[in-house]
Structure 1
Amino acid sequence: MNQPQPLSQPLSPLQPRPDLIGLVPRAYAALNTLHTEVLQASREAGPEAGLLTLVRLRCSQLNASSYCVEQYTADARALGESEARLRALAGWRESGDLFTPRERAALALAETVTLTASAAAAGPSGPASSLTPAEAACIGWTATVANAYNRVALASRITSTVPVPAPGAAVLPAQPDSAPVPVPGG
């Protein structure tokens, strides 16, 4: 058996990465099917679309997936999420009453699923009774699927589509009725 040889030099962050979607489309189709199943289960169990979108966005922030952060931020805006809450999401634990106990429980669960060992060691941060067992399961699965999409985007170097403004240019706020950017499985 051939053993992998250690790299003589670390991989460059600019080195091309494989197109996971294009090279293994059936695996990506299976991920999309899982996403569809989780959406259906969530419709039946009750966590609303806005809460699930916050979960997806928080997972994407934790995974540093700029493409997915962009997509889920656009989705949240389209669902009527406030700019103040979107800005505060990364620091939701320190945001006072900005997030409900139910949202805090969902975000804590999303962090546990995303960060595994470090989040689990920190313990729960919201009352589990804020979510029904079925809602918690759907939120756990939503986080799992979001994490998978994040990793596909990161591994394939799918990057943000936000144009970089010229130095000194005015940056306009996002329009609430703007079309969201398509994301793999989004």
Structure 2
Amino acid sequence: MTQTMAPPRLKIYKASPELYDAMMTLSTAAAKVVDPELGELIKIRASQLNRCAFCLDMHTRDARKLGVSEQKLDVLAAWDEAGDIFSARERAALALTEAVTVLGHGGVSDEIYRQAAAEFSDRELAQVVAMAVTINAWNRINAVAQSPLPRR
């Protein structure tokens, strides 16, 4: 049985450094008014759905440094079943993140949008959406590049 070697993956940021710069600019802009702990929950949840180990590794470490509880990190994949562990703002942001990450034919439902709009100012809501969009872009770039986990 012959094994074929996978082609080497594109080093996307070396091939296009301006892409990395643009992504970092978008990431920074999206985080302007979002609570850092909430931001990490958004990034982790989208990365779970997208199965991006590289981003999961990075953002769970960042979340721990910010003081996000181990219990929240442990049950984040089932946040909607976790009772009052997550605040109303966190639940609204996580529902919106899931809707943005797994777009169906209906897009983001009116109910999910209403819940998020009730919890966040227009500026905050715009940035929560931008954060979900940005981490999805990072996840997809890493999927193409097959970014390896750093060894610790």
User: Is the pair's TM-score, using the shorter chain for normalization, greater than 0.5?
Assistant: yes
Query: Structure 2 vs 1, CA of residues 132 and 121 (structure 1 numbering), >3 Å: closer, same or farther?
Result: closer
Q: Distance in 2 between matches of 1:133 and 1:53?
A: 20
Superposed CA offset, 1:86-108 (max 9, x none): 01001111111111111000001
Residues 31 and 39, structure 2, Cα contact 8 Å, conserved in 1: no
Q: Which amino acid letter does the alignment assign opposite residue 142 of structure 2?
A: A
Question: Pairwise mapping of residues 86-125 of structure 1 onto structure 2 (< 5 A)?
Answer: 86-117=73-104, 120=108, 124=112
Equivalent of residue 133 in structure 2, options 134, 138, 144: 144
Q: Give distance in 1, aligned partners of 2:5 and 2:102.
A: 22
Q: 1:18 to 1:123 in 2, by over 3 A?
A: farther
- Give the C-alpha shift of residue 76 in structure 1: 0.5
Q: Would the alpha carbon gap of residues 13 and 152 (structure 1) be closer, same or farther in structure 2, given more than 3 Å must change?
A: farther
Q: Which residue does 1:174 correspond to in 2?
A: none
In the TM superposition, what whole-angstrom CA distance separates every residue of 1:47-97 from its partner, at most 9, and x where no partner exists?
Answer: 311011110111111111001000000010000011111010011111111
The CA distance in 2 between the partners of 1:88 and 1:105, in whole Å, is 16
Structure 1 gap ranges (5+): 1-11, 164-186
Aligned with 1:117: secondary structure?
coil
**TM-score normalised to the size of structure 2?**
0.86
Taking structure 1 as reference, are residues 13 and 151 closer, same or farther at Cα in structure 2, changes over 3 Å only? farther
Please say if 1:26 is aligned against 2:18: yes
Q: Who is 2:41 aligned against?
A: 54
Higher mean displacement: 114-123 or 85-94 = 114-123
Q: Are the counterparts in 1 of residues 96 and 108 from structure 2 also a CA contact under 8 Å?
A: no
Q: Which amino acid counterpart does residue 65 of structure 2 have in structure 1?
A: A
1:99/1:126 CA distance change after superposition, 3 Å: farther
Distance in 2 (CA, whole Å) between partners of 1:132 and 1:70 is 30
> What residue in structure 2 maps to residue 170 of structure 1?
none
For 1:105, the aligned partner's letter is A
Match of 1:171 in 2: none
Q: Cα offset for 1:127?
A: 2.5
SS of 1:120's partner is coil
Change (3 A) 1:125 1:88: farther
Counterpart Cα distance in 2 of 1:35 and 1:13: 35
Counterpart position of 1:82: 69
Alignment partners' CA distance in 2, 1:142 and 1:13: 36
Letter in 2 for 1:25: P
Q: With structure 1 as the length reference, what TM-score do the two structures score?
A: 0.71
Instruction: Work out which of the two has the higher radius of gyration on C-alpha atoms and give 1 or 2.
Output: 1
